[in-house]
Copies of this chain bind each other. A is one copy, B any other.
Amino acid sequence: MSKRVINFYAGPAGLPLPPLERARDEMLDFAGTGMSVMEISHRSKEYEAVHNEAIALLRELLNVPENYKVLLLQGGGNLQFCMLPMNLLWGGRKADYVVTGSWAKKAYKEAQIVNKEGARCIASTEGEGFRRLPTAAEIQVNPDATYVHFTSNNTIYGTQFKQFPQAGNVPLACDMSSDFLWRPFDVSPFGFIYAGAQKNLGPSGLVVTLIRDDLLAQCNPALPTMLKYGIHADANSLFNTPPTWSIYILRNVLAYNKQIGGLGAIEASNQRKGELLYGSIDRHAGFYKGYVTVPADRSLMNIDFALPSAELDDRFVKEAKAAGMVGLKGYRDLGGIRVSMYNAVTVEQVQVLVDFMEGFVRKNG
């Protein structure tokens, strides 16, 4: 068996080792059943225990208030881009969208397909290549909006809302696919949160959503059944066969998150990782040129920078790979380097990368 690598992929991304080892050890015999968790009915008590534990751990780790439902759905963030407006942008309702990157723009575009007049873009930094986030003053939420949608972390351009938009009484609706559970936060201003599992939570094929009861009550009753949030809420996400393996891995990851101290400990680790990596970038700002122009907007999850030439970018990726670090090639449209360091990436692993970066600039700077 080859050595485990240091995984900086943007998603699907690395998972902590103990949840994977648990999955390996239980592959042929899960919970003493003599079956894999993939082979057992989703109505069995053994599977339901995993399902309910995953939901309970999410509620506990994030301190989710009682008036929210946690739903475990399929179709990733992309299906939520249309499910959210299909459920809530009907009957003359309006919604505001903040466009800070490719994914935020896709969410807005799908809302327009569902309801052209109802979906309004209220702020965008596309004209500036998404190199910064809109300021608080630039985000003027319409009081008649049913929700205001934004993307908390931009996986491609490397911006991240450290403070969420102020929207008064308008519920926030947020795509947190690439930074859900990176730290504790107050759920109560949110009406809707969704996160594809494949960055911080588990395997692809699972999207975790939180919906507040007042938004749930406003959902369009005339939709096809599978596209209704209410159906999944009423059935505890067991209306249809859920992606049982993905939920099992989610449970393993969340149990591990709790064991290592919860979201407070995870935030401390993420902050330290950011200090280390941005420290190196800032020390060598002439060599490692960050993509994001406003320091406060820089993401702690995805960090984009370019070296002085495309040749050096390539050499960086190649030598890092030889040193056991993968997934550092920049996003296809952007080039350069992208470091994705979700929860599973450890401080020690970022230190290895930073040591490599320091050596690389000494040799090539």
Among residues of B, the one whose C-beta sits closest to the C-beta of A196 is: B241
**B-side contacts of A285, CB under 8 Å:** none
Interface residues in A23-65 (C-beta closer than 8 Å to B): 23-24, 27-29, 32-36, 38-42, 44
Q: In the docked arrangement, what's the CA distance between A224 and B39, Å? A: 33
Q: In the docked arrangement, what's the CA distance between A242 and B76, Å? A: 9
Chain B: minimal CB distance from A113 (Å): 5
Is A139 interfacial (CB-CB < 8 Å)?
no
**B-side contacts of A224, CB under 8 Å:** 81-82, 86, 110, 113-114
Is A137 interfacial (CB-CB < 8 Å)?
no
- What does the 1/0 interface line of A1-43 toward B look like (CB < 8 Å)? 1111101011111110100110110011100111110111110
Q: How many copies does the complex hold?
A: 2
Are B242 and A38 in touch, CB under 8 angstroms?
no
**Given A241-B76, A241-B196, CB of A4 within 8 Å of CB of B205:** no
Among residues of B, the one whose C-beta sits closest to the C-beta of A6 is: B34
Chain B: minimal CB distance from A149 (Å): 15
Is A170 interfacial (CB-CB < 8 Å)?
no
**Given A2-B29, A24-B24, A28-B4, CB of A225 within 8 Å of CB of B39:** no
Is A255 interfacial (CB-CB < 8 Å)?
no
